[in-house]
Structure 1
Amino acid sequence: MNYEKIFSQNKEEKIKGRYITLDDIEPILMKLNSNNQLQVIGKSVQENPIYSYQIGTGKTKILLWSQMHGNESTTTKALIDFLNFLNNKSELANQLLESFAFYSIPMLNPDGAKLYTRENANKVDLNRDSQNLTQPESRILRKIYEEFKPDYCFNLHDQRTIFGVGDTGKPATVSFLSPSYNEERELNANRIKAINVIAGMNDVLQKYIPGQVGRFDDGFNINCIGDTFQSMGTPTILFEAGHFQDDYEREVTRKFIFFALLSGFIAIYENVIVEERIDDYMHISQNNPNFFDFVYRNIKINYDGSEIITNFAAQYKEELINNKIFFNAFIVKIGDLEDNFGHYEFDAKEKMYTDSDNNIPNLNQKADFYLEKDIEVVNGLVKL
């Protein structure tokens, strides 16, 4: 199957980048609303509408939700692309629509999306509110879950650039998890169903991003929505959209999330998930927080009159300014980086560090400096 071609034919060109708000997706959803598939299922803290989009007449019911965390927009883009695909009247789309009933919530947290924050407008992490249900957005999702009674849940998120695949030095571009349903992290029939789907998606992704698929930690937390739904008996799959090389806008990762969605539903449709694939799932390396956006090695600094060679790392801080995301690099670690990797690495070969302040790198300092005064680094990047 030509996943690349299918994606290119259905990619929604009107949305791109990291800052995706309700204003961006609302007109697209309205355009897709050809047969009353679009409904307002509730309001956010700030009274913004929360939409559902339902399509398909099949027996297998799929519940998908994205942007539970407002600043995690990659899966929202991929979900919109997938909705475009379901509406394209192709033979494959029609087969899936006859087999599945899709209930999607493209943006559960529109307030957080507007503010570009993880939390909602009350500064509550909705993914820690699945038991207390203190927030309107949490209650809406639970209500839909109880009414729709899904056969599978797809919990769609982004993850930070700090995650790599084990100790391979490769970024975790896409990560999955079949959440635990109890403290013991035991396997039951429902969790294995989710595991089997993940194994099928991994088979496809390895053809495109070999070694860049990770497995998220399965420590049990009943306050997390995936753990809750898994414990309530529904096979649940956590998606984490991560970093691909030089793709801070996550437009490439968006494509691979689309591949994962489509291949996952094909696996269920073709019933290739009946075979237990626990070993295949467990062989997906766990995520390891061993990456920085920038790593600088073998830097010479003058420290109290003595010249020493050290390393340091910088990380982007994403800042919303005038409705645009800016990536500003700050120094976050100095010293031993032996077990760490950088999405961008630079070997200074013992060149002397200088800056406009005190000529010594400090934590939380903007990553603007010179090496021997002939190499300039601006916002983390070496200017050549």
Structure 2
Amino acid sequence: MDYEKIFSQNKQDKIKGRYITLEHIEPLLQKLNTNNQLQLIGKSVLEQPIYSYQIGNGKTKILLWSQMHGNESTTTKALIDFLNFLNSKSETANQLLEFFTFYSIPMLNPDGAKLYTRENANKVDLNRDSQNLTQPESNILRKIYEEFKPDFCYNLHDQRTIFGVSDTGKPATVSFLSPSYNEERAINEDRIKAINIIVRMNEVLQQYIPGQVGRFDDSFNINCIGDTFQSLGTPTILFEAGHFQGDYEREETRKFIFFALLSGFIAIYENVIVDNEIIDYINIPQNNPNFFDFVYRNVRINYDSSEIITNFAAQYKEELIDNKIFFNAFVVKIGDLEDNFGHFEYDAKEQMYSDSNKNIPNLNQKADFYLGKNVEIVNGLVKL
């Protein structure tokens, strides 16, 4: 199957980048609302509408939700692309619509999306509210879950650029998890169903991003929605959209999430899921928080009246200014970086560090400095 071609045919070009709000997706959902598929299912803390989009009439029921965390928008873009595909009237789309019923909530946390925050307007992490259900958004999702009674749950998230695939030096562009349902992290029939789908999706993704698929930590936390739904007997898959080389807007990662969604559903439809693929799942390397956005090695600095050679790292801080996301780099670690990698790495070759302040890197300072007389670093990058 030509996943690249299918994606390019169904990509929604009117949304891109990291800042995706209800204002961006609402008109797109309205355009797809050709047969009352779009429904208002509740409102957020700030009284913003929360929509569902249901399509298909098959027996196998899929519940998907995105932007539970407002600043995690990559899977929202991919989900809109996938809804475009389901409306494409292609042979494959029609087959899936006959086999599945898809119930999606493209933006569970519109307030957090507008503010570009992980939490909702009450500063509550909705992914830690699955038991107490203190927030309107949490209650909406739980109500839909109980009424729809899905056969599978798809919990769609982003993860930070700090995650790599084990110690390979490759970024974790896409990561998956079949969440635990108890403290022992036991594997039962429901976890196995999710595991088998993850294995199929990983097989496809390895053709496009070899070595860049990770497995998320499965520590049990009943307050997390995936763990809760898994414990209630519904096979649940966590998606984490991560970093692809140079892709801070996550337009490439968006594509790979689309590939994963489509390939997983095709595998279920074609019944190519093998009963027990735990070993293949365990062999997906685990995520490792061993990346920084910038790593500078072999930098000469003056320290206590002596010259030493050291390393330091900088990380982007994402800041919302006038409805645009700006990536501002700050120094976050100085010293031993032997077990760390940088999405951008620079070997100073023992050139002298200098800046406009103390001529020594300090934590939390802006990553603007010089290496030697000719190399200027501005916001983390070499100024050309």
TM-score range, shorter chain: over 0.9
Separation (CA, whole Å) in 2 of partners of 1:259 and 1:373: 47
Q: Give, as a single letter, the amino acid of the residue that structure 2 aligns with 1:244.
A: F
SS in 2 for 1:264: helix
What residue number does 1:148 align with? 148
- Alignment partner of 1:70 is 2:70: yes
Partner of 1:101: 101
SS, match of residue 257 in structure 1 = helix
TM-superposed deviation, 1:373: 2.6
Report if aligned partners of 1:164, 1:291 keep a CA contact under 8 Å in 2. Answer: yes
Q: Which residue of the partner structure matches residue 112 of structure 1? A: 112
Give the share of equivalent positions with the same residue, in percent.
86
Q: 1:163: how far off?
A: 0.1
Instruction: Detail structure 1 runs of 4+ shifted over 6 Å in the superposition.
Output: none
What is the rounded CA distance, in whole Å, between the counterparts of 1:253 and 1:218 in structure 2?
22
| Counterpart check, 1:330 vs 2:333 | no
Q: CA deviation at 1:272?
A: 1.3
Give the letter for the 2:257 counterpart.
I
1:186-245 Cα deviation digits (max 9, x unpaired):
000000000000000000000000000000000000000000000000000000000000
Taking the aligned partners of 2:364 and 2:373, their CA distance within structure 1 comes to: 22
Q: For structure 1, list consecutive stretches of 5 or more residues without a partner in the other structure.
A: none
Query: How far, CA to CA, are the matches of 1:371 and 1:46 in structure 2?
Result: 48
Task: Report the 3-state secondary structure (helix = DSSP H, G, I; strand = E; otherwise coil) of the residue aligned with 2:376.
Answer: strand
Match of 1:206 in 2: 206
The C-alpha deviation readout for 1:311-332, integer Å capped at 9, x for no partner, is: 0000000000000000000000
Pair 1:309-2:309 in alignment: yes
The one-letter code of the counterpart of 1:275 is D
The secondary structure found in structure 2 opposite 1:261 is helix
Q: What does residue 19 of structure 1 align with?
A: 19
Q: TM-score, normalised by structure 2?
A: 1.00
Letter in 1 for 2:348: A
Offset at residue 383 of structure 1 (A):
1.5
Q: Distance in 1 between matches of 2:336 and 2:33?
A: 55
In the TM superposition, residue 270 of structure 1 has moved relative to its aligned partner by 1.0
The 5 Å alignment of 1:202-281 reads: 202-281=202-281
CA distance in 1, matches of 2:255, 2:224: 26
Q: Distance in 2 between matches of 1:267 and 1:47?
A: 39
Number of residues of Structure 1 aligned to a counterpart in Structure 2: 384
Secondary structure (helix, strand or coil) at the match of 1:350 reads: coil
SS in structure 1 of the partner of residue 150 of structure 2 = coil
Question: What are the residue-to-residue correspondences of 1:369-380 with 2, within 5 Å?
Answer: 369-380=369-380
Give the CA deviation at 1:379. Answer: 0.0
Distance 1:306 1:80 in 2: 57
Q: Is the 8 A contact 1:68 1:108 kept in 2?
A: yes
Larger mean Cα displacement after TM superposition, 247-256 or 372-381: 372-381
| RMSD of Structure 2 on Structure 1 (CA) | 0.4
1:2-41 → structure 2 map (5 Å cutoff): 2-41=2-41
Alignment partners' CA distance in 1, 2:246 and 2:192 = 35
3-state DSSP class of the match of 1:349?
A: coil
* Structure 2: distance between partners of 1:198 and 1:309: 44
* 3-state SS, counterpart of residue 245 of structure 2: coil
How far 1:305 moved relative to its partner? 1.0
Unaligned residue ranges in structure 2 (runs of 5+): none
Write the distance in 1 (CA, Å) between the matches of 2:273 and 2:230: 18
Task: Give the structure 1 partner of residue 350 of structure 2.
Answer: 350
Q: Deviations over 1:135-159 (max 9, x none)?
A: 0000000000000000000000000
Farther-moved stretch of structure 1 (369-378 vs 223-232): 369-378
CA distance in 2, matches of 1:136, 1:107: 14
User: Given that residues 354 and 373 in structure 1 are in contact (C-alpha distance below 8 angstroms), is that contact kept between their aligned partners in structure 2?
Assistant: no
Task: Report if aligned partners of 1:152, 1:234 keep a CA contact under 8 Å in 2.
Answer: yes
SS in 1 for 2:351: strand
Tell me the residue number matched to 1:136.
Answer: 136
CA distance in 2, matches of 1:108, 1:15: 17
Structure 2 counterpart of 1:169:
169
| Cα distance in structure 2, aligned partners of 1:294 and 1:223 | 34
